[in-house]
Structure formats: C-alpha cells, structure tokens
C-alpha cells in the first residue's frame, strides 16, 4: 500500500498527517513548532523528519511506501526558500539512509487556503504573529496581498498590535499619552515594575512582541481606549488587504475565511474585523474553513500525485 503525508508547520505547533492515496487520513500527530527562518533549513529538516518517522512507526509503514510529502511551513513563501528546504530535507533523509520519492515545500498559507476552499475559489486571511491574505481564483491561480514581514508589513498581526501596545505603554509611563490598562497587564505578564526593566526585556532578552496582542484584545474588551484604538487601526488595515484582493482578482463577490491565532476564534478583534468588512464590503462573505491546513496539505499531495 502507498501513502501521502501532509505537514502544517506553524509558529505554535507542527501537525503531521498520514493518508492513503484517496486522501483518507489514517493518523495525525502533533509535534513542537518549527521556526524555519530562525532555526534554518538543517535543523528544520531534522525536526520534520523526526515527526514523520514517529507517525510512520506508529502505523508500521516504511518510508519507501510514501509517494508524496507536502510540507506547508511559515517562512517558505518565496520559491528560493522553499527549494532550499526541499534540498535540505532530501539531504537529511539520505543521511538517515532514507530515499524520499517526492517532497514539495510550500507556504503554510497555501495549505490553509487549499483546506479552506478545497477545489474552489476563495481567500484566506491569516492574522497571527504575522499577516497575509492569499486568494485563489476559479482557475487555481494564486494571488497574495501583504506578507512583507514585521519590518515593512504585517499590518493587523500580533507583532504590529504588540508594537503599538508597547508604544502606548511607553507613552503612559512618560505621561505623554493617556493612561492605559495595558501598562498593568504588560507589567504583570513580564513580571517587571518600571520602565528600565521594560527596556531591558524588549531590547536585551529577545522578547516576543507578538505575545502582547492577547493583552490588547482583553483590554479592549474592558473598554480601554488605547487598546480599542490599536485594534480599530489594525482591523482597518486588514480591510484594505481584502479590498486590494478584490481588485487583483477582478471579482465583484469574494469568499474569505479567517485563520491565525488572533482571528480564527471569536473575540473583540475578530468581531470588530467582521463588522468592518460587512459594513464596507457588502459583497464579501466570511466563511469558515471547510478543512484544516494539514488536510489542505494532504489534498495538495494527492493533486501532485495525480498531476
């Protein structure tokens, strides 16, 4: 018997699915997160190989029986990066005395898109640590908006929200801006007591700025003006992403699914974003993803096999 493997390697966890050639999933296994851009191709390949090996061992399957592997991973949106990881994965597999038949590395956004709208046109708006909007037309052509990274893009993302929250807190500490509940929440989370400790945390301890975003959402729910202002600004940016996609795809109607840690579940931010899209873009329908990203990876593996 032959098998397909799909992987969703995200910022918080990595999920691996093994399916038969019809796409029927036999097993899913969750492993630790893989940050390709930080860990590099070699370490990422080792982690991915280990998770696949773990899955196959549970099913008593040999690598030789695997026909297609599709890996959706954050940081592989550019062709050069994807190809580098493919080569590294094959090289690592050889070092483990395993011959890989076919492996395809794509962006985690693409497998999420395929899972959300299998075989159909639609768009997926991702807002987690970063942000990006991917669209697929009725011919399968892919368009993207955003995804320029935290230094020049990622509007509406956890990083962008977190950065603005830190600015609001610094303004509060100086007395330059109005008081905000964010200051107390941030100090409690960081276990700090003054501005000097805040500066040390941010600049010397590699603090995860995106991790502040949930504090902004919870503060907005408590009617904090600064938190609500930040989320309002960031939601407007994501609305602009959707508007731009409609122009790129030349569509009058559009289906959009939300994914990513900030907007995939109901909260102040996702509700605000939904209201803004519905009021300014009445021809946009917000849909729930039909399948998970790892199921989207299995679908892509099946398509590659048949292609």
All domains in the chain, ordered by first residue: 3-115+292-306 (3.30.420.40), 120-289 (3.30.420.40)
The mean-pLDDT minimum among 4-8, 27-31, 157-161, 239-243 falls in 27-31
Residue 41 DSSP class: H
Which SS3 state, helix, strand or coil, does residue 210 take?
A: helix
Q: What pLDDT is attached to residue 31? A: 85
**215 has a pLDDT exceeding 90:** yes
Checking if the pLDDT of 76 tops 80, the result is: no
Note the pLDDT of residue 163. 96
Residue 227's pLDDT band (cuts 50, 70, 90):
very high
Asked whether residue 147 carries a pLDDT value surpassing 90, the answer given is no
* Whether pLDDT at 174 is above 80: yes
Rounded to whole angstroms, the Cα distance separating 255 from 186 reads 36
Integer Cα distance of 124 and 111 in angstroms: 10
Query: For the whole model, what pTM was predicted?
Result: 0.83
Q: Which residue has the tokens 């994914």?
A: 259
Whole-number pLDDT of residue 148: 87
Which of the four pLDDT bands, split at 50, 70 and 90, describes residue 177?
very high
DSSP state of 116: H
Q: Which residues of 203-231 are buried (b: 16+ CB within 10 A; e: fewer)?
A: eeeebebbebbbbbbbbbeeebebbbbbb
For 210-217, what is the mean pLDDT?
A: 94
Provide the pLDDT for residue 13: 79
pLDDT of residue 270: 97
Q: How many CB atoms lie within 10 A of CB 28?
A: 17
- Residues near 173 by beta carbon (within 8 Å), at least 6 away in sequence: 183, 195, 198
Distance of CA 5 to CAs 76, 95, 158, Å?
Answer: 18, 20, 30
Distance CA 35, CA 22 (A): 31
Residue with tokens 């807002």: 127
As beta bridge partners, residue 20 has 3
Per-residue pLDDT tens digits for 235-272: 999 999 999 999 998 888 899 999 888 998 999 999 99
Neighbouring C-beta atoms of residue 165, cutoff 10 Å:
25
Mean pLDDT of 137-144: 87
Judged against a pLDDT cut of 70, whether residue 122 lies above it is answered with yes
The set of residues, in sequence order, having a beta carbon less than 8 Å from that of 27 and lying 6+ positions away, is 17, 18, 55, 58, 59
pLDDT confidence of residue 32: 79
pLDDT at 11: 65
Token duo for residue 220: 């907005």
Q: Give pLDDT, residue 8.
A: 92
């Amino acid at each position: 018997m032959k098998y397909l493997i799909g992987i969703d390697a995200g910022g918080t966890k990595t999920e691996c699915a093994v399916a038969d050639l019809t796409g029927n999933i036999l097993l899913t296994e969750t492993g630790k997160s893989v940050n390709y851009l930080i860990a590099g191709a070699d370490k990422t390949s080792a982690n991915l190989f280990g998770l696949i090996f773990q899955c196959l061992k549970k099913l008593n399957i040999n690598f030789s029986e695997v026909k297609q592997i599709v890996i959706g991973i954050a940081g592989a949106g550019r062709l050069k990066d994807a190809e580098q990881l493919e080569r590294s994965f094959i090289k690592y597999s050889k070092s483990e005395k395993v011959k890989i038949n076919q492996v395809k590395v794509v962006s985690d956004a693409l497998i999420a898109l395929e899972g959300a709208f299998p075989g159909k046109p639609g768009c997926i708006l991702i807002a987690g640590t970063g942000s990006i909007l991917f669209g697929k037309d009725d011919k399968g052509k892919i368009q993207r908006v955003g995804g320029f990274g935290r230094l020049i893009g990622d509007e509406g993302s956890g990083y962008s929200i977190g950065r603005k929250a830190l600015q609001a807190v610094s303004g509060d500490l100086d007395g330059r801006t109005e008081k905000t509940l964010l200051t107390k929440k941030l100090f409690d989370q960081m276990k700090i007591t003054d501005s000097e400790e805040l500066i040390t945390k941010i600049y010397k301890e590699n603090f995860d700025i995106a991790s502040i975003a949930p504090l902004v959402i919870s503060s907005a729910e408590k009617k904090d003006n600064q938190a609500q202002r930040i989320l309002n600004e960031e939601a407007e940016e994501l609305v602009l992403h959707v508007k731009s996609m409609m122009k790129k795809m030349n569509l009058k109607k559009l289906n959009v699914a939300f994914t990513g840690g900030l907007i995939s579940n109901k909260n102040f931010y996702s509700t605000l974003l939904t209201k803004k899209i519905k009021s300014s873009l009445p021809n946009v329908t917000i849909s729930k993803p039909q399948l998970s990203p790892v199921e989207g990876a299995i679908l892509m593996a099946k398509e590659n096999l048949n292609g």
